[in-house]
Amino acid sequence: MPSLGRRHFLKLLGLVGSASLTGCSSESPRRLIPYLNPPKDVVPGKASWYATTCMECQAGCGLWARNRDGRVVKLEGNPAHPVNRGALCARGQAGLQGLYDPDRFRGPGEKDGSGVFRALSWEEAFSKAAMELKGLLSRGEGERAVFMTGLLTGSLRDLCIKWVEKLALGGLVMYEPLSYEPLAQAAQKVFGTWAVPHYSMEKADLIISFGADFLSTWISPVEYARRFSEFRTPEEGKRGFFVFFGPRLSQTAANADMWLQVRPGAQRYAALALLKASWKDKEGEKAPWPGSAHLEAFLEKWEEETLLSKAGLKREEFHFVRKLFQRSRRPIVLSSGLETVDPHAHETAWISHVLCSLKKESLELIDVGRGWSVASAAKRSELLSLRDKIESKEISLLLVHGANPVFSFPEFEVLEEAVRKGHLKLIGLSSTEDETTSLSSLILPASNFLEDWADVEPRPGIRGIVQPVMGTVFDTRGLGDVLLELTRRLIPGDPLGHYSFDGFLKERWKSFHEELGIPGGFDSWWAEILRRGGQWVEPSSSKRCEVASVSPPMEWASDEGGQGFELLAYPTVQFLDGRGANRPWLQELPDPMTQITWGSWLEIHPQDAERLGISNEQVVVLKGFGGEAEIPAYVTPLTIPGVLSMPLGQGHTSFGRFAKGCGVNGWKLCSRGANHVSIQPRALKVKFANTDGSLSQHGRGLAQGMDLGEYQEAKSKGQLPKLRLPLPEAYDPKEDFYPPHKHNLYRWAMVVDLDRCIGCGACVIACNAENNVAIVGRELVLQGREMQWIRIERYLEDHPLKVRFLPMLCQHCDAAPCESVCPVYAPHHSAEGLNNQVYNRCIGTRFCSQNCPYKVRRFNWFTFTRPKPLHLQLNPDVTVRQKGVMEKCSFCVQRIVEAKNRIRGERRTLRDGEVIPACAQTCPTEALVFGNLMDPESRVARLSRDPRAYQVLGHLNTKPAVIYLRRLETRREDMAP
Amino acid sequence: MGIFTSLGQLEEAIPLIERKGAKVRTVYSPIDCREILQKVGVRKTSPVRFATLLGGLAGLSLGVGFAIYTFLEWKFVTSGKPTPPAVPLVVVGFEMTILFGFLSTLLCMLFLCGLPRLRGSQGYDPRFSKDRFGLLLECDRAQREEIEISLEQAGAEEVRVLRTRETSQ
Amino acid sequence: MKDWQASTPKSYSEVQEMILGALSPPGRSYWGAVILCLFGLLYGASCWAYQILTGMGVAGINHPVNWGIYLVNFVFWVGIAHSGTLISAILYLLRARWRTSIARAAEAMTVFAVMIAGLFPFIHLGRVWIFYWIIPYPNQRDLWPNFQSPLVFDFLAISTYLTVSSMFWYMGMLPDLAALRDQSTGLKRRIYGIFSLGWQGTHIQWRHYGTAYLLFAAFATPLVISVHSVVSWDFALSIVPGWHSTIFAPYFVAGAIHSGLAMVLTLLIPMRGLLGLQPLINVGTLESIAKTMVLTGLIVGYSYGVEYFMAWYSGNMFEWDTFIWRAFGHYAPQFWVMVVCNVAGPLLFLIKAIRTNLIWLFAVGIIVNIGMWYERFVIIVGSMSHEYVPHAWGVYSPSWVELSIMLGSFSMFLFLFLLFCKFVPPVSVFEMKEHLWTHGKA
């Protein structure tokens, strides 16, 4: 950051009263205590939190970054932020590993023809870059240069636009692989606005999703997961019903009350059938909508039979859904808006919008006016024209920041050729090497969003602030500062009016200050903004969006007569489109459905597999329009016959050491609109590094369900569950051999609500980050040596195919079998009921793990290390374990201790909710609740009296302190009209 | 002193000699033979037993006592069991009983046997460890002749005279 | 017993010459064998060093199978260690005469086996460099081991057993060492002199010695039983389906004796040939071992049956599932090897022709050894890989390091035993003489 910038910035921080960044020169975090004599408001060993905003995807969740001794060690959701309300997904948690990515550019440099990287000073780099541009500008060929970025919002976007205008460049292209363009386009047609609508799901009473995975990756998963769980809460009898149409039992479908199997290409027919069936009983204005006539004419053309057969739907199932829709007052209909999931996403999106419009109240739940900023990403058409321009040599210089089209946009393979032929030069501004940046001859690495200033506007009205939460790890500079510096070198004076980007940003916020007419001076408000993490106005009573036209699309694409299988490539909870692939945490996060780590796979239905003689883990050659690839087959009922599904985001060629050699790039294989592929088995097997020992729970009743009706009855009767609580009161002479024992003040316990758990795995990553849990790599996962302290067990059940998720962590039993078998007291019972594991005392007999019925203890087979600078992320409050030591979940004991220190001298005990373990803190659906069981009013105590409460393997009478709440199941009969 | 080839002769010799008024000092034998003890008039069983008993009891109390002490030292609750728990003490006590009982027996036995001894005792002959039996007698000079004769009569393969305080040539 | 007398030498000196004659200076082939075993031992040791430096990860163990063949070998060797004391102590108390000629060798086997068995828990330790934390030694923090832990029971039992069995062995040798001393010269004489503690065989010494030896036997007997019971409690005291069962103590003791006797056969048959002790350790003796093995084999077989019955009768799905999986799951081959070798194998001894034929005796001995090794494998690995939580199921197979260390342990055993054969009277001289005497009278 330029010096003035820093001074500026210090002033601001002085106001916020948190100036720990003074010490954060780029090398400071390399020392454990970076200060010889620290600034007086920084106490070594005491954490300071900074509010900022996540830029890992376009959802724009608010963050709290925990800075210890000058380095960020943990990211958590900002409780005040309207998007995520304190929760954070796995990818957000792993943002840290983007910051400390060992494969980031250490500093500016250039690449010669042979691709050898040569470091440059910023001075040199700037002059070289300026020269490139000057060359064009002097010849008045500014438009031959194009600036391509990832999706930008707020000040950065303004700056980039201004910059491109100022230099009269060819334009700014914001590339976002998951742009949901079909949704925006359909919204344009139906509601008259180009927008990706925002849905207030919690207010709905029925959700129908055509392949939209809104619980894992779709638009804003954390927010929608939260709203979904509200929509589902069984309070006062009301419980929303969720129907999923789609070709794959995705993590979202797994949480649906009903999964209707539809081929990717046929989702539009299913939607159309529903529209045709329910068009007549539409509510709304007497005056028909514009285009109603056309629509009716269009619907006439279709026979319900043909539609159903095309969609491959069973009659009664479809009619059941139809009746549900008919009956419901506020249904919401979603569609994926991704061509890799639904080749006719446009049609499906259009129909689903129209379906929503059929109900008056539904229109109030759809916010088009304040839609998602992702709608402003470059349209496919624009990208294609850019591609053509590059091919036709109209463009000779491409500046790239945070966009990786070469990886995720097959058509952009031309870039490589153009660069090789030498009629295109790339200047990379990305902070990490990726497939696109690796083509660039000059690299001016931008800082990570945790080191830089910015602001994010995921939706109008929500402005999240992004502030540096630590000094730069490497010799990098903020994108804004780089652009400003370049302008200065090209145009004399200070053309954009600012020396540094934070000045630019602040000026923009000054204008908001005026707009909003906020009383009081700007500086105090600004300090408040920095503390709160942004500024957001609650939506003024949502005005219902108006229907512009329902006339059907002019062209209704005919089914492409492709042979063979339909290929479905879905964004994953770990990597989204692939941007997370170099984060070891995410690589080792088991896929929610397949439980596979480190690699990609091709899901094929057992019938097809049998027909083609393909066995599990057998490699198949997959031929599609996008070329061919070799990928191991995963034989599973998760995908339907005739459809092959594979995850996106793997198969990077130059994205860093962790992404290297992991799986196949799905983007390359699915060229949009035409997704038919053929496969042949090869006589070769590749082992999956999966973490599950079994698909089903063999009727052992670990993950239990309960019928909604029964539950409500039991609740009304005030029935109490039969539990063996870890409390003296629960002592039962008939069952217990040993007398009870007391705890002092606290008995820590956790409640896991299986009805809320959606299996997203955010808790796993949060735990990794908080507790320095080691990443072991593919080879060791294959040997069953993964180290995660909390895991989401996935169990399948047949007839009907059902999925159950079961978060499994140390149960902190009151009579823990692991304790007494240890010869040296390494595990023992604490006065507060914790099952302590004393690492220093452990000699590694592994008897405790042997004797743990839940198998949640993890042994350090080696001394696991982290490549620098990933080690900077380690949490100083938690020991890093050595080889030969057993470890396990500690209920984040370090947080309990910290909280107790905080209230020391207040003469009181900790209140409910004052201590929250990392996993519970980050859970988007509040499925995990932590507290003191001895306080009868605490949430855990109250929930443990719920009729749904049970203990896993309770019959062993180990008195586990983790109490599970059964998943609720709605019987169809109960829903049937 | 007389050296015999067979145990039988030795046995017969002992009473005969004793009638003559000589006292049996030591009987050397390559095997453990209870009958000799009878003849010599020593009780078969040895006081080692008492050492065993004491050792065993000591071991038991030490094992149990120590275990209880360690439990009370930290009062760690493990597996929800009381401190000190009763059951495990059985094993500890048992093993200690055996260990101490055994060792005390061993030591007491060595002590009574006068082992380890450094120098060979007077009158010992290497053959005694192989197949010969030795009978070491004590008598006054007067009886010597007579006893030597009777030893030979008893079948001693060799009769030897050792110079000691009371017996002189 | 008849042919026993027939083939025995008639006089004390003959006995002694025959036995001590076996100690005549060994030939080249003997030393070759010793060196070979020594190398095997060193190889195993270096593999252990490698494991300590790198981490337990070099072994095949994982979650959920935290205990691999290290503990299989531990239990195996402890088992071997049992027959020695059984033969010398229990049969001594029972006055079973055929024991005399083989007791010494069996005891030696015991001592060596215990030494090796005692090593394995340490080899299997994640941080062996602080193994001494299991030992109750005084320290500032007054932090003692947990006397509730089966592993501490183990430690006490095994160390006691090692002390007792080695002392028992040594005391039994005292008169023979004296005999060796008396017939050897020079340095040898001095060395044996020291070890014989100056034993002279006076009637006083014999008196105390006799009583003490009886008491030793009386101690050793319950100890043997207790040691393997304690070892079985490592498993029975846990909560793992397939381990948590009251039958374990007797089941393990029977198994131990079974394997021990088998090992006696495997060792003695070659030994008697090489040392020319046929007349002393005659077929009759071996036959009685074989007979005993039929009994132990049947007990072991019965235990297998009872385990299944209890699993089924308990109505505990986890228990029953584990046992089904044992017989038909991933480890089914090992399971059936175990059943056939341990139960069917010894039954061959019902046939007189087989139990009096050296080759057969030897072969069955080997078979039962293999079977008993697999029994421990099936019990340990077979239960852990298939516990309560299906998501955590997983299988295990040993790594080269584990196998090397196992090889090392066998080399060490043979190494020690070879030395024993040539430097210590392999058969109790004085007891054989006593037999002559008592028979002479009879």
Provide the edge-to-edge strand list for the sheet that holds B158-159.
B23-28, B133-138, B2-4, B158-159
Cβ atoms of A648 and A340 within 8 Å: the answer is yes
Q: How confident is the model at residue B51 (pLDDT cuts 50, 70, 90)?
A: confident
> What are the helix (H) ranges across A718-776?
762-771
Residue type at A676 in one-letter notation: H
CATH of C2-22+61-397+425-435 among 1.20.1630.10, 3.30.1490.100, 3.40.30.10, 3.30.750.24:
1.20.1630.10
pLDDT score of A3 more than 50? no
pLDDT in tens, A196-214: 999 989 888 899 999 999 9
Q: How confident is the model at residue B164 (pLDDT cuts 50, 70, 90)?
A: low
Cβ atoms of C396 and C385 within 8 Å: the answer is yes
pLDDT in tens, A89-107: 999 999 999 999 999 999 9
A442-451, A740-749, B126-135, C422-431: range with lowest mean pLDDT: B126-135
Q: Which of C64, C331, C58 is nearest to A691 (CA)?
A: C64
The SS3 of residue A814 is coil
Please judge whether C388 and A700 are an interchain contact, meaning their C-beta atoms are less than 8 angstroms apart. yes
Q: How confident is the model at residue A27 (pLDDT cuts 50, 70, 90)?
A: very low
Where along chain A do its domains lie? 47-99, 109-178+378-517, 181-372, 565-690, 705-971
Domains A47-99 and A705-971 share a fold: no
Q: How confident is the model at residue A935 (pLDDT cuts 50, 70, 90)?
A: very high
pLDDT score of C174 more than 60? yes
pLDDT of A332 reads 93
Please judge whether A844 and C127 are an interchain contact, meaning their C-beta atoms are less than 8 angstroms apart. yes
Q: How far is B78 from chain A (nearest CA, A)?
A: 5
Q: What is the DSSP letter of C89?
A: I
Q: How confident is the model at residue A646 (pLDDT cuts 50, 70, 90)?
A: very high
Average pLDDT over residues C139-145: 86
Higher-confidence residue: A895 or A283? A895
The arrangement of secondary structure in A705-971, i.e. its CATH architecture, is 2-Layer Sandwich (3.30)
Q: How confident is the model at residue A286 (pLDDT cuts 50, 70, 90)?
A: low
pLDDT in tens, A48-66: 899 999 999 989 999 999 9
Count CB neighbours of A296 within 10 A.
15
Average pLDDT over residues C26-53: 92
Please judge whether B78 and A822 are an interchain contact, meaning their C-beta atoms are less than 8 angstroms apart. yes
Measured between CA atoms, the residue of chain B closest to residue C12 is B131
Q: How confident is the model at residue A562 (pLDDT cuts 50, 70, 90)?
A: low
Measured between CA atoms, the residue of chain C closest to residue B97 is C219
Residue B27 has its nearest CB partner, among C156, C202, C222, at C202
Residue type at C166 in one-letter notation: S
Average pLDDT over residues A819-844: 92
Residue for token digits 């393969």? B157
Q: Is C159 on the interface with A (CB under 8 A)?
A: no
pLDDT of A905 reads 86
Please judge whether C215 and B26 are an interchain contact, meaning their C-beta atoms are less than 8 angstroms apart. no
pLDDT score of C440 more than 70? no
Output the DSSP codes for B82-101.
-SS-SHHHHHHHHHHHHHHH
pLDDT in tens, C92-107: 887 777 778 888 888 8
Output the DSSP codes for C371-407.
HHHHHHHHHHHHHHTT-S-GGG-------HHHHHHHH
Measured between CA atoms, the residue of chain A closest to residue C54 is A862
Residue for token digits 């939706």? A459
A172-181, A646-655, B120-129: range with lowest mean pLDDT: B120-129
> What are the helix (H) ranges across A395-538?
405-408, 414-421, 479-490, 501-516, 522-532
pLDDT of B166 reads 44
pLDDT in tens, A602-642: 999 999 999 999 999 999 998 877 788 899 999 999 999 98
Average pLDDT over residues A519-529: 89
pLDDT score of A676 more than 70? yes
A158-to-A144, A177, A414, A460, C377 alpha-carbon distances in Å: 21, 21, 29, 15, 69
Output the DSSP codes for A641-672.
TTEEEEESS---SSS-TTTTT-S--HHHH--T
CA C351 to the chain's CA centroid: 26
Q: Is C150 on the interface with A (CB under 8 A)?
A: yes
Q: How far is B107 from chain C (nearest CA, A)?
A: 10
Cα of first residue to Cα of last residue in chain A, in angstroms, is 64
pLDDT score of C10 more than 60? yes
Strand partners, A75: A65
pLDDT in tens, C381-397: 999 999 999 999 999 99
Residue for token digits 């960020």? A72
Average pLDDT over residues A782-791: 93
Q: How confident is the model at residue B58 (pLDDT cuts 50, 70, 90)?
A: very high
Q: How confident is the model at residue A971 (pLDDT cuts 50, 70, 90)?
A: confident
Sign of the Cα pseudo-torsion (A43, A44, A49, A50, in order): positive
Q: Is B16 on the interface with C (CB under 8 A)?
A: no
C-alpha triplet B133, B136, B137: angle, nearest 5°: 140
C-alpha triplet A638, A643, A646: angle, nearest 5°: 65
Please judge whether A699 and C317 are an interchain contact, meaning their C-beta atoms are less than 8 angstroms apart. yes
Q: Is C137 on the interface with B (CB under 8 A)?
A: no
Residue C67 has its nearest CB partner, among A791, A850, A885, at A850
Touching C (3+ Cβ pairs <8 A), the chains are A, B
Q: Which residues of A touch B82 (CB under 8 A)?
A: 738-739, 741
Average pLDDT over residues A357-376: 87
Strands (E), A743-862: 748-753, 791-797, 802-808, 827-829, 835-837, 858-859
Mean pLDDT in chain A? 87
Q: Is B77 on the interface with C (CB under 8 A)?
A: no
CATH 3.40.50.720 fits A47-99, yes or no: no
CATH of A109-178+378-517 among 3.40.50.970, 3.30.70.120, 3.40.50.740, 1.10.1840.10:
3.40.50.740
pLDDT score of A327 more than 50? yes
Average pLDDT over residues A123-139: 90
Length of chain B as a residue count: 169
Where along chain C do its domains lie? 2-22+61-397+425-435
- Find the helix packing angle between C186-195 and C150-183, rounded to 10°: 140
pLDDT of A236 reads 64
pLDDT in tens, C238-273: 999 999 988 999 999 999 989 988 998 898 888 888
Q: How confident is the model at residue A708 (pLDDT cuts 50, 70, 90)?
A: confident
Q: How confident is the model at residue A688 (pLDDT cuts 50, 70, 90)?
A: very high
Instruction: Give the separation between CA A707 and CA A704, rounded to whole angstroms.
Output: 10
Residue type at C241 in one-letter notation: P
Class assignment of domain A565-690? mainly beta
Q: How confident is the model at residue A10 (pLDDT cuts 50, 70, 90)?
A: very low
Instruction: Give the separation between CA C265 and CA C247, rounded to whole angstroms.
Output: 27
Cα of first residue to Cα of last residue in chain B, in angstroms, is 14
Q: How confident is the model at residue A234 (pLDDT cuts 50, 70, 90)?
A: low
Please judge whether B28 and C202 are an interchain contact, meaning their C-beta atoms are less than 8 angstroms apart. yes
What residues have CB less than 8 Å from A926, skipping those under 6 apart?
A229, A753, A756, A920
Q: Which of C334, C402, C414 is nearest to C372 (CA)?
A: C334
Residue A829 has its nearest CB partner, among B77, B82, B85, at B77
Higher-confidence residue: B61 or C193? B61
Touching B (3+ Cβ pairs <8 A), the chains are A, C
Q: Which of B106, B110, B59, B58 is nearest to C164 (CA)?
A: B106
Instruction: Give the separation between CA C78 and CA C373, rounded to whole angstroms.
Output: 11
Mean pLDDT in chain C? 87
Q: How far is C184 from chain B (nearest CA, A)?
A: 10
pLDDT score of A903 more than 50? yes
Answer yes or no: pTM beyond 0.95: no
A407-to-A385, A396, A428, A578 alpha-carbon distances in Å: 18, 20, 15, 8
Q: Which of A405, A404, A386, A406 is nearest to A396 (CA)?
A: A386
pLDDT score of C356 more than 80? yes
What residues have CB less than 8 Å from A241, skipping those under 6 apart?
A205, A206, A207, A257, A258, A324, A328, A970, A975
Please judge whether C238 and A817 are an interchain contact, meaning their C-beta atoms are less than 8 angstroms apart. yes
- Rounding to the nearest 10 degrees, give the CA dihedral for residues A120, A124, A128, A130: 130
pLDDT in tens, C399-438: 999 999 999 999 999 999 999 888 888 888 777 777 777 7
Q: Which residues of C touch B26 (CB under 8 A)?
A: 202-204
Q: How far is B74 from chain A (nearest CA, A)?
A: 10
Please judge whether A696 and C155 are an interchain contact, meaning their C-beta atoms are less than 8 angstroms apart. no
Average pLDDT over residues C127-144: 89
What is the interface size between A and B, counted as CB pairs within 8 Å? 36
The arrangement of secondary structure in A181-372, i.e. its CATH architecture, is 3-Layer(aba) Sandwich (3.40)
The SS3 of residue A145 is strand
Please judge whether A860 and C148 are an interchain contact, meaning their C-beta atoms are less than 8 angstroms apart. no
Q: Is B130 on the interface with A (CB under 8 A)?
A: no
Instruction: Give the phi and the psi of residue A20 in degrees, each rounded to 5.
Output: -70, -10
Cβ atoms of A201 and A332 within 8 Å: the answer is yes
Measured between CA atoms, the residue of chain A closest to residue B74 is A825
Cα of first residue to Cα of last residue in chain C, in angstroms, is 14
Q: What is the DSSP letter of C143?
A: -
Q: Is C133 on the interface with B (CB under 8 A)?
A: no
**CA-based R_g, chain C, Å:** 23
CA atoms within 13 A on the CB side of C111: 17
Q: Chain C window 143-182: which residues touch B at a Cβ cutoff of 8 Å?
A: 143-148, 153, 156-157, 160, 163-164, 167, 171, 175, 178-179, 181-182
pLDDT of A544 reads 67
Q: Which residues of A touch C143 (CB under 8 A)?
A: 825
Instruction: Give the separation between CA A84 and CA A227, rounded to whole angstroms.
Output: 10
